[in-house]
Amino acid sequence: MPANPLYQQWLRVAENHARDPAVREASGGREWSFADLRELALNAPPSPPILHSHARGPDLIVDVLRAWRDGTVLLADDGAGVPLPPLAWLRPGICHLKITSGSTGVRRHVQFRPEQLAADAAQVVATMGLRQEWPNLGVISMAHSYGFSNLVLPLLLHGVPLWLLDNPLPETLRRTMNTEQPLTLPAVPAMWQAWDRVGLDFKPVRLAISAGAPLPVALEAVVFARTGLKIHNFYGSSECGGIAYDRSACPRDQDTLAGEPMADVEVAIDPATACLRITSAAVAEGYVEGNPAQGAANRPGGGSWLTQDLARVDEQGKVHLLGRAGDFVSVAGHKLSPVLIEERLQRIPGVRCCVVFGVPSRNEIRVEDLVACVNLVPGTDLDTLKSAFQALPSIYCPRHWWRCGELQPDARGKIARNRWRERWLRETSGDR
């Protein structure tokens, strides 16, 4: 097979920056130049038609280059255990498969052409202002869409160096902060919260980014007040790459605000569904399906994708997220978005994370009751949480409170609402 055109772009980057540091392991101090990566890729074994890579760190980067060199398809496995699809199901010209987060209940393969990956990288670099002088600090998974777009592609296609950490624990990051080297730090809200909780100093960080889940404005404001560091909220999807980015220099004042559309990305509200439609050169070729005719109506393709995110675009063109289609809970004749309840809970000191969902009510007139599952800092009383809802109409107050120390966002910063709802129903089935 002929080489992926991305490989030619990579070779130009490697030639222009041959002796410059490309990848560094922050803990052990090992370092690879762009010339080193080029040699590793040239000498790597041939790739199968679909390279199902379980590699991490520099080995994953070499696997990306192997697949590009040989013109084959790469699937970077994030440990989810999603099997390889049949090769016959892939469209011609596909070079990369991503796996969706499964926040809607089903994890799916998404297929990309080289030009779509290149467009995603260009949009990220241009919108966020990534610089070769500010290495990316790698604390998120490079196998996930967010990490692949913000760490791997800027490295290989734009020469933005990468510092890799063994883990995102506060003590690990603290040791890395003892440097004069300016850094870019992309992370997820749960990481930012953990780092802020121990008072971490972000002195060398010049650019801070948060994605994977909505960044609470309260957390953004606390970090800014304590350190002066502005965390930029980033909204994207596996199906289309980056969508919106908060470019402002000061903290947001609205939780719903995702940011302005990325460079070369157009957004619009679909009249029939009130969901956000994305038009961009980075939109995927489509899902991997045995019978596309039976697939979802909102499949990505043709440069456009209809998300399942309910949204509005304000007068300044900024995107506001209002919840997920199908996530609304019916309480006593009112349609409520769990996101609004979660945002209020996240502002309360002592709430580490939370998820809100609806369950069938014993009172048929109410239809559903709200359940708030919360992971709290020791010593935080549930009465503190309940008091935050006293001034609101009763329909906004969760009927059931579930204190659960196991509740944690996943590696992408997401909490699967349906999974926790099913667990609650299963564990309370006897009571109900």
Angle at CA of residue 5, ends 3 and 7, nearest 5°: 70
Residue 339: its pLDDT value, please? 81
Residue 307: its pLDDT value, please? 93
pLDDT by residue, tens only, the chain of 432 residues: 678 999 999 999 999 999 999 999 987 789 999 999 999 999 999 999 999 999 999 999 999 999 999 999 999 987 766 788 999 999 999 999 998 865 555 678 999 999 999 999 999 999 999 999 999 999 999 999 999 999 999 999 999 999 999 999 999 999 999 999 999 999 998 899 899 999 999 999 999 999 988 888 989 999 999 999 999 999 999 999 999 999 999 999 998 999 999 999 999 999 998 999 999 999 999 999 876 655 556 789 999 999 989 999 999 999 999 887 777 788 876 778 788 888 889 889 999 999 999 999 887 767 889 999 999 999 999 999 999 888 888 888 999 999 999 999 887 778 888 889 999 999 987 655
Q: How many CA atoms lie within 13 A of 121 on its CB side?
A: 22
Residue 330: its pLDDT value, please? 80
Biggest CA–CA distance in the chain, Å, is 70
Q: Rounded to whole angstroms, how far apart are CA atoms 111 and 245?
A: 24
Helical spans, DSSP H, in 252-355:
338-346
Q: Which CATH superfamily is domain 5-322 in?
A: ANL, N-terminal domain (3.40.50.12780)
Q: Which phi and psi (to 5°) does residue 368 adopt?
A: -135, 155
Domain with CATH 3.30.300.30 in the chain: 327-427
Tell me the angle at which helices 34-43 and 5-16 cross, rounded to the nearest 10 degrees: 140
Q: Rounded to whole angstroms, how far apart are CA atoms 58 and 56?
A: 7
Query: Are residues 163 and 183 in contact, defined by beta-carbon separation less than 8 angstroms?
Result: yes
How many CB atoms neighbour CB 257 within 10 A? 21
Two tokens at 378? 């020791």
Residue 296: its pLDDT value, please? 54
The fold adopted by the segment(s) 327-427 is GMP Synthetase; Chain A, domain 3 (3.30.300)
Tell me the angle at which helices 58-70 and 5-16 cross, rounded to the nearest 10 degrees: 130
Give whole-number Cα distances, 93 to 27, 69, 90, 116, 399, in Å: 39, 14, 9, 11, 52
Residue 423: its pLDDT value, please? 93
pTM of the predicted model as reported, rounded to 2 decimal places:
0.82
Domain with CATH 3.40.50.12780 in the chain: 5-322
Two tokens at 264? 């070369």
